[in-house]
Structure 1
């Protein structure tokens, strides 16, 4: 999946782009709009926590690092069993799963309060009154969607980013 970033000059042109994208088969839950606090997004799909924060990135890192730490803890428990207990390979799996879960939760709690750094490049334009529309589409449709929007809305500024798996 790829995320297209459209900077639109006003609410009406953003609504037109959303309607055109929905006509092209882009589902509404793949459309995310962000505007300044003093602007209304009536009729537009607003961006949620996953789009506005580093939550998804934090979950990935937390689960990965927690899984590795848990597996190392399980390996230590197998190598040096406490109080003469005999532990098998299941201790490695349990340690890795517990570590991944704990790491994901802690990292998600921390990163849910950090703004999405991909949006930094658009901050001034948003504060100046433009509306940022993020569209998540399959990689093979990027060129077609960009061309469609630019043909009807040459005022749109478009950027592309790769989404995490």
Structure 2
């Protein structure tokens, strides 16, 4: 399990030094991301992914739930009020729920990919001012150690909290 840490750094030079320190602390580069105004980050600094910048995941989850419920409702209607001369079984409800969930996830993720991540709304002002947001996913057991490292070596970094635990897959 991993925890996501957020830090706001005053400039790119500070962010670059922070990246080096975290790499020396054996945090893999794939778990460190930066978000700043367009064109500010250095080419060798890992930029935040689409999943971190947008509400894509949240939208897909919501669409899957709504689509699944709509599929169940549609399946129930078709099973209990079948078309003339057709005999449908209860598996129709399961199939329609599955198709509804898939369709809902697809449509909602398309829409959500254009919406900025609501979790990052608190950082918009800092980013517009030219500051750099650093997002670090650290192993649960190293959370305290990494936070201490950042506070000790980079007093200019402002700590903006810890996101709840999430699975460790990439």
What TM-score do the two structures reach when normalised by structure 2? Answer: 0.87
CA distance in 1, matches of 2:42, 2:116: 20
**Cα pair distance change 1:80/1:140, threshold 3 Å:** farther
Shift of 1:164: 6.5
Shift of 1:38: 4.6
Three-state SS of the structure 2 residue aligned to 1:84 is coil
Residue 157 of structure 1 corresponds to which residue in structure 2? 158
**Maintained 8 Å contact 1:33/1:44:** yes
Residue 60 of structure 2 corresponds to which residue in structure 1? 59
**Cα pair distance change 1:164/1:57, threshold 3 Å:** farther
CA distance in 2, matches of 1:146, 1:87: 59
Q: How does 1:96-115 map to 2 (within 5 A)?
A: 96-115=97-116
Residue 86 of structure 1 corresponds to which residue in structure 2? 87
- Structure 1 range deviating more: 77-86 or 47-56: 77-86
> For residues 79-125 of structure 1, what are the alpha-carbon distances to aligned partners after superposition, in whole Å with 9 as ceiling and x for unaligned?
12222322223211211111011101110111111111222211121
> For residues 127-148 of structure 1, what are the alpha-carbon distances to aligned partners after superposition, in whole Å with 9 as ceiling and x for unaligned?
2221111112343332222112
Shift of 1:7: 0.7
CA distance in 1, matches of 2:102, 2:26: 36
**Maintained 8 Å contact 1:70/1:97:** yes
| Structure 2 runs not aligned, ≥5 long | none
**Cα pair distance change 1:70/1:164, threshold 3 Å:** farther
Q: How does 1:1-165 map to 2 (within 5 A)?
A: 1-159=2-160, 160-162=162-164
What TM-score do the two structures reach when normalised by structure 1? Answer: 0.89
**Maintained 8 Å contact 1:33/1:41:** no
> For residues 15-47 of structure 1, what are the alpha-carbon distances to aligned partners after superposition, in whole Å with 9 as ceiling and x for unaligned?
222222233333322222111125133321011
Three-state SS of the structure 2 residue aligned to 1:132 is strand
**Cα pair distance change 1:137/1:78, threshold 3 Å:** farther
| Structure 1 runs not aligned, ≥5 long | none
Question: How many residues align structurally?
Answer: 165
- Structure 1 range deviating more: 37-46 or 51-60: 37-46
